[in-house]
Structure formats: structure tokens, C-alpha cells
Chains A and B, each alone.
Chain A
Amino acid sequence: MFSRVSQWIGVLAFGCLSTAALAQELAPDVLVKSVAAEVLEIVRSDKGIWAGNPKRVMDLAEEKVLPHFNFVRMTALAMGPSWRRATPDQQKLVVDQFRTLLVHTYSAGLTAYRNQTVDYKPLRGKPADTEVTVRSEIRQSGAQAIPIDYNMEKTEGGWKVFDVAIGGVSLVTTYRDSFAQEVRANGIDGLIKTLVEKNKQNAGTRK
């Protein structure tokens, strides 16, 4: 009952709301779809991005995409048991560095984007769910479509992504062993140091 009322209010107020405010009300699949469509439209039309201007891509990611990610939870999942052993300061450092690393990787992937089409599959689950997986597929000629799944959770600030799986390869899981390996060898500070160096190296290779 209440949800129907709020739906009507939503419809009536639609014209007045800014997109930012709207994002908090959007269903997770609608959110992913609209963000992806908006970003891809910009990538397609922006000459600077086509020319591989990294600053523009980073700005685009920072402004449009990153607000919809929960990096704290991503980092915690990637660190596994080490997360709880880290001090709050260490946790903050790892989150910051991991975020930088993922942003860089994501931006690099975005510049490679060309003319593939993206399909979305119907959302499974109940309206009351606080965690869902939004499934999409990138179609391409002569190859199997690449599934991209966004694992999302409901927060007060709207739905947030806490893991992305490309072709069944989860970002968080793939970093798990790498993080554990660093922590085993050089402790949590060693992991932070490695992440900092990796980010410096990435920043250096960028023109």
C-alpha cells in the first residue's frame, strides 16, 4: 500500500526531481541501466575520451560511476580475515589505495569501449530484498556475449555496487588471494606499500 502511494508520488514529482535525488529512489537495475547508458553516451560522443585523454575518463568515472560503489565493503571482502586485524587507519589507507587502483583499471577499460551493445536481464528476487544481482551482457560478433553482473546492496544513499563479476570472474574474489599473499609475506603495511607502488607505477605509465 505504502509503496504504491510512494510510486504515485514519485510519478507526480518526476518532473521536479534532479537526477541525483532520483538515483536514491531508483530500483537497482534501473540505476545500473541509466548510469551505464549515460556514461556510454558520453564515451561515444567525447572526442577527448576517444583520443585516450586519461584526465577526462577519470573525471567521468569519478563524477558518474564511483558514487554508486561501496569501496569499503569491496575492500573488506577482498581482504577477508585481515580486514578485522587491520587498525582503522590501515583500513582507511587500504580502501583509498584499492579505490585508486580500481578507478584506474576501470578508466582504462572504458577507453577501450567501442560499439558493442549491452543487454540487461530481468531482475530476480523480491521487492523487499536488500541485496540483488543486476545481470547484463555485452554482445559482440563472433564471440560469446560477456556477462557482467553487479552485486548491489541497499543503503540509505541508494543502491551501491559492492562487487562486479565479468564473465563470472568476481573482482573481489580475484584480489582475495593477491591480498592474502601480500599480508602473509609483509603484513598489512606491506599490502598498503604494494598498493601505493602499483598506483604510482600506473600513474607513471599514463601519458
Chain B
Amino acid sequence: MKHNDILTEIQSLGGQLSRRGFLKLSGAAGGGLLLAASFPSFGEESPTLVGSAELNAYVQVRGDGKIIIYSGSPEMGQGIKTSLPMIVAEEMGANWDDVEVVQAPEVNTELYGRQSTGGSYTLYLNWNLMREMGATARDMFIAAAAVALEVPRSELKAEGSQVTHVPTGQVRSFGELAALAHRQPVPKKETLVFKDREDYKILGQSISQVDSLEIVTGVGDFGIDTKVPNMLYGCYVKCPAVGGELISANIDDIKRAPGIVDAWSIKGNGNVRELMDGVGIVGTDTWSVFKAREILDVKWDETKASKDSWQAFVAFAEAQDQTGEKVVVDEGDVDAAFADPGHKVLSQLYEYPYVSHLCLEPMNCTADFRKDENGRDHLELWIPTQSGPRVQEMAKSRYGLDQDQVSIHMKRMGGSFGRRTSQEYVIEAVELSQRAGRPVKLTWNREDSVRYDFLREGGFTRLKGAIDDDGSVVAIEEHVIGVAPGGKPSRFTGPWASAFPFSTMKNIRASLTTRQMDTPVGPWRAPYSNTHAFASQSFFDELATLAGRDPIELMLELMGERRWITPDDVRALNTGRAIDVINTVAKKAQWGRPMPKGQGLGFAFYFCHAAHVAEIAEVSVDQNDRVTLHKVTAAVDVGPIINMSGAMSQVQGAIIDGYSTMAGQKITMENGRVQQTNLDQYPVLRIGQAPEIDVHFIQSDFDPTGLGEPALPPLAPAVANAIFAATGRRVRKMPISDVGFSV
């Protein structure tokens, strides 16, 4: 049975999948069982969602016993293409070795759900759907076996890709039963029974990701590896200061360069998320195009271009008061707590830089804008993207193309971390293909990929706290000094009213002041949380020192009674889960043990993306201020672990990413120009600097939630607090190389 035939069948269902339910698909299953699940769009949006994801699912069991599960969700290294099918296989009673996962071949939200990923919510949003899908299939196999063996259903169990008659030991494999199963009625959702956790055979195990073989043999099909017939290679050169307009360029010289097929001056619409002015060059190979750029001579009009200056932003921030222009949270009486002469009060300014996503796969897109056999426009795209549907929307709004005029291949991403959510690199490829009349693969070089990144914004947080006679934290005020590209405050600057630790404080005020900074910014792994955790949890450690208290003891006091701040809201802090991860990490890292001179332990807790994470860093600092991060201990509660290997990877990766970022990464702008564009100016952590990482999962009974982001935010404050413990010097500025430390 060819996948294409099944997909044609799925496609023919079209709008039938508009309400939640399961459908058997006829015919195309080739005598096997083919189930489709559909689920209405998840309506809620919260600011923590980069673009929540949802997958519709298709499962096929063939007569030869092969189980094919279709995955619609984009894969960028977070492991979703492996973990979601594991849930289906578990509930079905399948052997994992019988499962083949196939990436959905197109973008079609009617069929595959939202086909976007972000916010670490993909798993949470799909947990029940995946279980229902598996349990439905299992129920139908059991019904089929009851018919085949003429025994009661209650005497049958499905396990190991077969149904066993428990009293007699007779078995029928899923493959043998597939055709008969397909003729059984689809059970009602309400009648489905999920397996107990203690009976799990697949979930919680370590499963190598489904694309491992392709990756290690070099045939993994990333976006940048796309090659289609008659394809040209292209680049698009923009003004080094974002927003500059093109006056003139030596296009004729470029056209004469070796390997160049054509070149154009292209007028944009001034929207950095769509198309800026630039020079498009297409040629016979990437190198020819990159070489031609070197002789490009463009005159830019920078009247409307960014004038951003990091230095000016620093001066602006340092001049700010304790309370900002816009108050976002104001509970209790902060002013009275600060004015009380019996209270100790501390105020400090924290600073964090712009940083790049630095996806190792540079930004790229392959576009083929052509006429179909009826003379209608048709756009075919090969894109590494976190959101296929957004590309469809763009094709409609910008080019007037209906869904049937657009074919989108969502390619594996060589990292994303929030980066591949924008459209400008797609549009640039479309523009080149439209002009060339041929498919064009646009490749940004590394320098483009950093210079025109939608950076994690830099900013500042002025924190103030009060400690009472008992040494308790009685008030906190946070003032974020953030950015407003084009005058509009970035939503990832914060502060977010729902953020930890605001909900735990009686007297709390959080406010915002922004400065216009036109350098584009966007979501970057655990947006807002990654800077807020650094500032707030480093400052919390300062307050503990001021109070003469142990920071963990003080944090546990802040948590108070075990309670869910907003019951049943997965995005709300659960202090019981927080207490458990904090106690676990303290015990595992042997918190409180005496440390030799020049060494220290640092603790931080943070809650975001529905995850409770506590980390303890162990560092030493030598007389030259060289920091060694020996070990990070992490305790994490994201509910039951789906894929232990994938979960460990995400925590290890987030910790190393957090450390790499805080060690030396900083993007600055002067005169609107990004000043660091490649690895020689932007240091990255190497293997020898990676710490030992000891991860402890508390597999609570709450529904599982995602792990792509939430282990990152506590890392920076944990390390900063450890450096303080080792040296007595506070780190209030990132990266630590800016305050004299090296790694």
C-alpha cells in the first residue's frame, strides 16, 4: 500500500473532519484498518504561546502488521515526531518496532490540524487525542478478535501488536485482524478506557527518534537540502541597517559575474516581516551567488532605516526610576512595604543583551512560482518552518492564492528555537522564483542569518524588594525597560501578569517602560521567561542574602501551602509541584554542603510553559575569574514522561543552551547595524565546556506537558547565584563575559 494512496483517501475526506471524532477510511487501507481523528482548533491563546500546535492523526494498520502513523507537526529537534506516535502505539497495544512514522506531505489544516509548533504545548494539546486514537484502534482489534475466536471481549487483551485470548493463550496478530477490525464499529469516545500507567510498555521508555537513521547517514532532508529540477540558487541582499531603501545597484556587473543567471533590484513594502528592498541574485550554485555578492555595490537611502544604538539604550535604561510608564500588575501595597522603617529594602538593575537564535541551518526556502496546466498561478514551497498554515495565509494575503494554488512541503528544521515563525525568507524566495520563472532555492549566508534575525530582545529589569523583621520577603517591584520596534512594545519584553513569582506575592507591582528600538525581535526559546527568570531569581537570591536566609528555605516559605493557584489551569503555578521539585533538587545536589574556597552552589526555580523546574549549579571560579560549571542538577515535573530519551535530551540541551548564551553571547547595534554576524564574534559553548547534568523527573499524575523550553530559564540565575557563592560577586549583567568572567 503506497502512502500516497492513503493520503489521497485522507484528502478526499475533506470537510468531513470538521468535528471531533474518529472515522474509518474506506478502501484505501488495502484490507487493513485506517483511522482518522479530527479535533477542532484549540481556541485559547495565551501570550506564552508562540503559536500553539495541534495535530490531527491518521493511523493505518496493514495486513502485514505494519502500523503507519502520520505526523503533521513540524519537527525541529524537539522530538514531537517520535513522542506523539508513541502515545498512539502505547494505547493501541502495539510493538514500537512495528510502527513507521510518516510526515504529513502537505499543509492542510482541515486534515492535519494547525501544523504549527511552539510554546512547548504540542504534547499537552495532543495527549488525549493521541490516547483516544490508540484506544479506539485497540477496541476495534479486540472486537475483531472476539468475532474471529468466538470468545467474549472481556477475555481478550491487546499487547505486543496482537490480541491474546487470556484463558486459552490463542493469539491473533494485528496484521491478521486488520481487515476484520476495519469492519467493526468505531467505539464512542465516552466508552474508551485508557491504560493504567503501570501497564505502560512504551511510554516512559527511551526511544531513539524516528529520523535517526536518516540523520546519521546524511540523507536527512532539511529545508536547505532541497533540490528540484531546473532549480537555481539565490540570495537576497538587504540594507545592513534594517529599513534602508534601495537607490541603485550595479546590477549589470552582477549579471556578468561567473555562474550568475540573473539579478534584480527589488522594491519591498517596508515591512520587515514581509519584503524589504533588496537585490536578488540567482545563479547555478550557491557559491557563485555568494561570490557575486562581494562585488555588489548598492547605494542605500537610510532615512527610514533603524538608528538603533545599544549604548543609547543602556543610558536610557540607567536613567529610569523604580516604576515604569505602564503598570501591569499592582497588588497589595508595595509602597507601604518599602516605606516601613522596620523593613530592609534593596534595589538593583539587571541587564540582558539581544541574542541570536543562531539556528545552525541558515534561513532558507525553495520556491517554485509557476502556472499550472490551466494557466492559473501555482506556488510550491519547500520550507523549514514552525508554521505551515501561516505560510498559507501569507500566500493568500500577499499573492491572492487560494489553498489549492499552494503546495507546501514542511521540511525538517535544523534548529528553530522560535526563529522559523516569520515569513520574510519565504517571500524573498517567492519573489526570486517569480522573476526567474524557475524554482529558486534562497539561502541566507550565516551573516544574513544573524544580522536579519528576529533577535531575543535585550533589556533591563529594575528590581526592588523588602524583607521584614522575620526575614520574609514582603514586597517585590519589577520595572522592565524593554523595546518597542517601530514604536510598538514587543510582547516578549514583558512583564506578563501571569508570570512566576507574581502570583505568590501579596505586595507586588510590575511595570513597563519601552524605548523605540527598530531591530526586529521575536520569540526565542522560553520567550520573556528566559530573561525574567535571570533577573527575578538572581534578585531573589540577593534578597535571601539580605535576609540572612537560605534561598531554598526562603523559596519554600514563599510557596506556602500546597495549592494550585488557579485550579485545573495548566498554565498556573502549583505550589505543591514546585515544593517537590525544589526539595528533590536540594537533596540530589546535596544543597548546603560545605564548599571549598572558590567554589559555590547556586539555586533557582522557575515556572513557565506549564512546567515546574528547579536547578542547582555547581561552579568554581579561579583567580583569573575563569568559571567552570562542573555540574547542573535539575528536578523537573512535567507529569509522566513520554520518551525518556527525548525528555533527557531536551533538559540537557536547554541547560547547555542557557549556559552558552550566558557565557559570552551578546548582539549589539550601532547606527542601526548589528555588529556581530558570525561565530568569530559570537562565541558558542564547545563540548569541553559542557557540564555534567543530572536530571530527576518527578512523574506526577498530571497530564504531560512539553519540555522544549522550560528547563532553560532557571539555568542563568542558578549559575549567577553559584558564582556569587563562589566569589561574593553578584552577576547582574549578561553575558558574564561583560562583567569580567570567562568560561
Q: Report whether chain A binds chain B.
A: no
Q: Interface residues, chain A, CB within 8 Å of chain B?
A: none
